[in-house]
Every structure is written in C-alpha cells, then in structure tokens.
Amino acid sequence: MKKISFKLAFISTALLTLSHTLWAGDITQGKTKAAACAGCHGLNGIGLSEEFPNLAGQKQAYIIKQLTAFKNGSRKDPTMNAMAATLSNDDIADLAAYFSSLKISTAQASVADKSRTGKASPREFPENVYISMKKSATIETFPQQQSWPGGPNMLYTAITPNKKMLLSTSPSSNTVYIFNTQNGRQLAILKTGKAPKGVKVSPDGKQAYISNQGSADITVINLKTLRVSHTIKTKKGPHNVRFTKDGKLAYVTLQGGDGLGVIDTQKQKLIRVIPVPGITGPHNLDLSADEQTAFVRDFVHHVAVVDLITGKVNKIITVGNGHGGIDVFPNGQYAATAAIGDDYISVIDTQTLESRDIKVGSASHGIRASKNSQWLYVTLPKKNEIAVINTSTMAVEARVPSGEFPFWIALPGNP
Ligand code: HEC
C-alpha cells in the first residue's frame, strides 16, 4: 500500500510538472503580445476602466481556461470572443504567463501610476523640451538630457519661435540669460528690473517680455540686438505674460492683487486691468484656443475662468494647493495646472469647465503640453523628476530624473 501511494504521488507530481510545462508560456513573448490587450486591460494588467477586469497576478491556468472558453465560444462576450478568436494556443500560454507574472502589489501601486522611471525617450519627447533647474542653476534638454550651465536660480524660461534661442530669468541676480539652443552657450546676460519672473517671446520672435515682480514693470528685450529696448510700467507684482497670436496684446498676471493687465504691444503700455475677484494673487495664465477666455492660476488653489470680451469671471475652479504653472493644450481641449503644495495636477475641460485630478505623486510646478498635444510634461521639483503624461489615457507614462528643482518648461509650438 505504502509503495503504491508513493508511486501515485510521484506520478501525479510528474503529471503536474508535465501539464505545467504544457502551459508554460514565454513571459517576454507574452509581454509583446499583450500590447493588443493594453487598450482595455492595461499593459500592467490593470483594467483601464470599470468594465475591464484586472489580469495582473491572475492564476495562469485560469487565464488559459478563460481565453480558451472565449475562443471556443463557451464563455460569451462579444469583445473577448473576437479577441480570443485570433489567438493560437501558444499565444494564450504566453499571455497567461505574462499577466500572471505581474505582481499584484506592483500592479496595485500602478493603478495610479503605471509609469516607468528612466531615461527620456524620443517617443515621449518628439520635439526638444527645455527645462530650467532652479537649484542646479542649469537648463536641461530632453530627450538628450544635456545640461547647460546658467545663472543662480534659473526660473522661468521661454524659447523663440525659430527655436534658436532660449531665455531664462534669474530673479536673485535680476538678470535674464539668453542661450544659443544649438550648443547651450550663453549669448547674453541682461539686466532686468527687480525679481524677474515670467518670460515670454512675442509670436514674431522679435521681442521678449520679462515680468519684474519686484519693480512692477516689464523689461522688453530686442531679440535682434540682444539689448533691453523698453520698460513698461504695470501694477503691483507682474508675474507672467501671455501674448495673443497676432502679437497685438499681452495679458499680464498682477500677483499684487489687481487682476489681469492688458498691454497694447504697439503702444508698449498697460491699457486696462480686468479685476479677477475670487482668487488670491493671479500667478500664471494661458488663453483658450479662440483667445476669448483666460485661465488664471492663483497662488493658493484656484483657477479663474475669465471672459476677455465681457471682463467677467465665468467660474472659479478649485485645484491643487499652492502655486504652479497652467497650460492650455495647443489643440485647445484642456487647461492643465500644477500644484506645488499637493501630489496631483488638475486637468480642466475647456468646454465643460469640469476638472479632474491626476496623481503625479509629488509637488509639481512647471506644466506644458507638446505641440501635438499628445504629451503633457510636469516638473516635480521635490522629486527632481519630470513626469510625462500620455494625454490619450491621462496616465503618467514615464518619469525622467532631472537636475535639482526642475521649475519651468519651454518647448516649441506652445508658448
Ligand atoms: C476592447 C477591450 C478588450 C480588449 C482589447 C481585450 N479584452 Fe479581455 N476582456 C474585455 C472585457 C470587457 C472582459 C470581460 C468580459 C466579460 O464580462 O465576460 C474581458 C475579459 C477577459 C478575461 C477574463 C477575465 C476574468 O477575470 O474572467 C481575460 C483572461 C482577458 N479578457 C484577456 C484578454 C487578453 C489576453 C487580451 C489581449 C489579447 C484581451 N483580453 C483584450 C475587454 C477586452
């Protein structure tokens, strides 16, 4: 008796091993094949919405059984029946091996964050992106990840439309640095007013406006001669500007409290101030695609939606705590804003004005969408990282390590 049961045990173990090898798929192959499933089940096996089950960490045999059942029609679901019909037994084994290999703990952590951490990839940076590093006092380029020495506290930054020059303000030295983007060399260091913050280049590329928060004025730079050509008086605390596409007007956030200033660029004069009640200290801004609406981010946790025709505030939207950048995507669909005192960014639908939060896991400040609106870059100054969000899924897809205190983002096609 004893002998037989031992033999049986041996045989059943052998059978188990055998059946195990029968369904032992190839994880690497499975990962490649899983690209076809990622649109619903996520590449990390976490369903992208409620109707799509999680597959990460699921038992291998169960996945095989379900896929086989979908394939032969004994389990019915129109989508999965169609998906499974194209799968061979090898495919099924590979996919099962891959999804079951994904650890549930990692997968759960990735519900909010399916991102990879590592070097910048050209896919995620289809065009060069320039980011100022406040503490490292450098400019870093992506995807190349080169670092150019700059001045103390490199803060706001802007690129010329022809992509040849990059400007970055240094508020502690009351200067602006101008770089040659070909080689990162400094072309000029120009004196500005007190505590220069935001810098923007006019759409024709001829001038740069620098908001001097400390001296309540704007330094105008002639980008041909690389000299200061003019100073425009504003109200208290000008922080950043945004030109209209035709270059005729520039809106300026007056963080001192007055609201949104309107500058006639021909007259080089502040011609009007639109009050923005309901927010605390207008900080950064961007314009809707039709330029009839301004999205004004304050210092606390609000975005004011300002109708530029009537001068009325349409809505105050509560966003993450602390100050941060704001960017209307080049396609006009969303306005996204960062928050230095929170761990998420807010994305506002520019039509419905509904806002949703996207966890980035740490304090954020700079925010800019790529020219094609596919990627949203967010600087995480406390983590020394750039988060790259795929705007199709609104998920953080990559995290790229950077210098210290990444602050502001400049890229072509999205001033
Ligand atoms: C278009 C969306 C979509 C795609 C693509 C898709 N699935 Fe599914 N999948 C579903 C839905 C929906 C269900 C739930 C079906 C049901 O309710 O029975 C499901 C169920 C499953 C299940 C059963 C899970 C369980 O807990 O019972 C497995 C396994 C599965 N899918 C594997 C895959 C694999 C592998 C691929 C890629 C080859 C894939 N799916 C592609 C939508 C999709």
Atom 29 of ligand 1: nearest residue by CA position: 63
Burial of 9 (0-12, 13-18, 19+ CB in 10 A): exposed
Could you give the C-alpha distances from 281 to 147, 237, 258, 277, 298, in angstroms and in order? 33, 9, 8, 10, 5
Which atom number of ligand 1 is nearest to the Cα of residue 91?
Answer: 38
The CB density around residue 29, as the number of other CB atoms within 10 Å, is: 16
Q: How confident is the model over 343-376, as pLDDT tens digits?
A: 999 999 999 999 999 999 999 999 999 999 999 9
Could you give the C-alpha distances from 354 to 133, 192, 309, 322, 336, in angstroms and in order? 32, 39, 22, 20, 11
Among 171, 149, 335, 301, residue whose Cα is nearest residue 240: 171
Question: And the tokens for 285?
Answer: 């801004």
For residues 180 and 88, what is the distance between their CA atoms, to the nearest angstrom?
55
For residues 305 and 122, what is the distance between their CA atoms, to the nearest angstrom?
34
Residue 399 CA to ligand 1 center (angstroms) comes to 28
For residues 317 and 339, what is the distance between their CA atoms, to the nearest angstrom?
13
Could you give the C-alpha distances from 209 to 17, 168, 275, in angstroms and in order? 72, 11, 22
> Does ligand 1 have an atom closer than 6 angstroms to the CB of 32?
no
Torsion angle of C-alpha atoms 179, 183, 184, 185, degrees rounded to 10? -60
Residue 110 CA to ligand 1 center (angstroms) comes to 19
> Does ligand 1 have an atom closer than 6 angstroms to the CB of 53?
yes
Q: Show pLDDT as tens, one digit a residue, over the chain (415 residues).
A: 444 444 554 544 444 444 444 557 899 999 989 988 887 887 778 877 778 899 988 999 999 999 999 999 999 998 899 999 999 999 999 999 999 988 765 444 444 456 788 888 899 999 999 999 999 999 999 999 999 999 999 999 999 999 999 999 999 999 999 999 999 999 999 999 999 999 999 999 999 999 999 999 999 999 999 999 999 999 999 999 999 999 999 999 999 999 999 999 999 999 999 999 999 999 999 999 999 999 999 999 999 999 999 999 999 999 999 999 999 999 999 999 999 999 999 999 999 999 999 999 999 999 999 999 999 999 999 999 999 999 999 999 999 999 999 999 999 999 9
Among 391, 389, 371, residue whose Cα is nearest residue 379: 389
Identity of the amino acid at 194: K
> Does ligand 1 have an atom closer than 6 angstroms to the CB of 41?
yes
For residues 101 and 34, what is the distance between their CA atoms, to the nearest angstrom?
12
Ligand 1 mutation target, pool 54, 83, 90, most atoms within 8 A of CB: 83
Residue 85 CA to ligand 1 center (angstroms) comes to 12
For residues 324 and 89, what is the distance between their CA atoms, to the nearest angstrom?
52
> Does ligand 1 have an atom closer than 6 angstroms to the CB of 111?
no
> Does ligand 1 have an atom closer than 6 angstroms to the CB of 69?
no
Residue 397 CA to ligand 1 center (angstroms) comes to 22
Residue 100 CA to ligand 1 center (angstroms) comes to 14
> Does ligand 1 have an atom closer than 6 angstroms to the CB of 38?
no
For residues 319 and 300, the answer to whether their CB atoms sit within 8 Å is: no
Ligand 1 mutation target, pool 27, 29, 33, 41, most atoms within 8 A of CB: 41
Residue 84 CA to ligand 1 center (angstroms) comes to 9
> Does ligand 1 have an atom closer than 6 angstroms to the CB of 80?
yes
